[in-house]
């Protein structure tokens, strides 16, 4: 039990550090190739903060633990909106000024409804996984198009990304490549260690793999988003803080959810469709209402941030009460 706990802690720590190195290296490669800061921010950073979820879910699915993988995808989305944005807004209330983000939010909701339609029969098949992957490529192409269209438009998030990139020291193409590769390898190894430790803990306490994915794994793999969003908010880069969450949730639904379907297809664990997916949808709708705002600019105030955090706590309690229904 002690070794398993240490494995989880070390896995989370090296996973977060590896994700940072991967984003730094990938961004450096893009800068060397002349890619605009807006496209770097909308694609590479969003993908990078979801890389831990991708690798953890991929390894879990490969080990035949699809419930943990699916739980990680949905649990991370719930955690990103309720806990990550909630804590961020408590630290620094967020003002949404980006038109690009306002276009992304309805698409995020559409992706959720689309993914729900695929798994509404209670089964995540290889066909479902393939369709989700194709949707991921379509989403990336659309985001790149948004970046190209928005380049030079002085959208709020474009200015924030440009400032962020300028503050980052330039590195050579070779060093950037090594950073990206090293970060990827480190994330792979730490993900393997993390999944092993999490399964051991779940077995010891009699928890289902779904619940461990929705809670411990989801919280740990959301740490990069939490760190990035809080730091961005404290630097008054409010749209980047929100964009980190939106981009990550899109990648989680289309990329992370696809992996268990492609690698280890099978029925969804009990509770996913009746409990967890509705919570994720409701939180997304709440975020859209906050971001658009009823009067003037959209905001996520401290009061709303507190509401989101309390929602996360209530959801954790609900999981505790219903954990006996979670399948593995």
How many other CB atoms are there within 10 angstroms of residue 208's CB atom? 21
Q: Could you report the per-residue pLDDT of 105-144, keeping only the tens digit for each?
A: 899 999 999 999 999 999 999 999 999 999 999 988 888 8
| Domain residue extents for the chain | 2-325
pLDDT at 19 over 80: no
- Judge whether 126 and 262 are in contact, CB under 8 Å: yes
CATH number (3.40.630.30, 3.40.50.300, 1.20.1420.30, 1.10.260.40) of 2-325 reads: 1.20.1420.30
What is the model's pLDDT at position 327? 42
Q: CA-CA distance, 234 to 238, in Å (whole number)? A: 8
Q: CA-CA distance, 63 to 277, in Å (whole number)? A: 24
Q: Could you report the per-residue pLDDT of 294-308, keeping only the tens digit for each?
A: 556 678 889 999 999
The rounded percent of the chain whose pLDDT value lies above 90 is 31
Q: CA-CA distance, 90 to 67, in Å (whole number)? A: 32
pTM: 0.85
- Judge whether 190 and 11 are in contact, CB under 8 Å: yes
């Amino acid at each position: 039990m002690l070794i398993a706990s240490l494995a989880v802690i070390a896995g989370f720590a090296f996973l977060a550090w590896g994700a940072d190195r991967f984003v730094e290296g990938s961004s450096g490669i893009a800068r060397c190739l002349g890619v605009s800061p807006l496209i770097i921010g909308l694609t590479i950073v969003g993908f990078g903060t979801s890389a831990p979820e991708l690798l953890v879910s991929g390894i879990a699915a490969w080990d035949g633990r699809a419930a943990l993988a699916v739980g990680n995808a949905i649990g991370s989305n719930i955690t990103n909106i309720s806990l990550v944005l909630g804590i961020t807004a408590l630290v620094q209330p967020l003002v949404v000024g980006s038109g690009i983000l306002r276009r992304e939010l309805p698409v995020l909701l559409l992706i959720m409804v689309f993914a729900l339609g695929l798994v509404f029969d209670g089964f995540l098949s290889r066909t479902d996984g393939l369709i989700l992957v194709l949707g991921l490529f379509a989403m990336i192409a659309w985001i790149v198009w948004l970046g190209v269209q928005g380049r030079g438009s002085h959208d709020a998030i474009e200015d924030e990304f440009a400032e962020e990139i300028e503050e980052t020291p330039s590195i050579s193409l070779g060093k950037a490549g090594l950073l990206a590769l090293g970060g990827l390898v480190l994330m792979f190894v730490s993900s393997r260690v993390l999944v092993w430790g999490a399964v051991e803990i779940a077995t010891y306490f009699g928890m289902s793999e779904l619940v461990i994915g929705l809670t411990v794994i989801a919280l740990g793999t959301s740490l990069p988003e939490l760190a990035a969003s809080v730091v961005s908010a404290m630097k008054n880069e409010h749209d980047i803080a929100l964009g980190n969450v939106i981009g990550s949730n899109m990648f989680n639904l289309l990329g992370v959810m696809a992996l268990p379907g492609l690698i280890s297809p099978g029925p969804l664990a009990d509770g996913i469709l009746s409990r967890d997916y509705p919570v994720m949808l409701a939180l997304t709708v709440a975020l859209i209402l906050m971001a658009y705002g009823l009067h003037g600019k959209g905001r996520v105030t401290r009061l709303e941030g507190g509401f989101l955090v309390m929602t996360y706590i209530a959801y954790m309690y609900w999981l505790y009460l219903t954990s006996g229904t979670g399948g593995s």
